[in-house]
Amino acid sequence: MYNMVSIVNQAKKWGNSLGVVIPAEIVRKIKLKEGQTLEIKIRLKKRIDAFGRFRGARKFKEEALTHRKFW
């Protein structure tokens, strides 16, 4: 039986490796004990850079400013 939880955390440098800390609140919630086996699925959250998203796009054309009546 699996106790499923989801957390978002940052990887921290631990010697030559990276580690992730499991918050005490989650440890208590799933009754995690030292030495138990965990299955960890990692999904990177990517930052979207709006300027980079449009890199290589054609430039906008300037339009003449006109005052049109809409009604």
Quick one: pLDDT at residue 45? 80
Quick one: pLDDT at residue 54? 63
Quick one: pLDDT at residue 7? 85
Quick one: pLDDT at residue 19? 93
In a domain, 46, yes or no: yes
In a domain, 65, yes or no: no
Separation CA 18–CA 24 (nearest Å): 19
| Domain extent at residue 41 | 12-53
In a domain, 27, yes or no: yes
Tell me the per-residue pLDDT of 5-45, one tens digit each, with 9 for 90 and over: 888 888 999 999 999 999 999 999 989 999 999 988 888 88
Name the domain count of the chain: 1
- Whether 62 shows a pLDDT value over 90: the answer reads no
**CB-side exposure of 38: number of CA atoms within 13 Å?**
15
pTM to 2 decimal places: 0.54
In a domain, 41, yes or no: yes
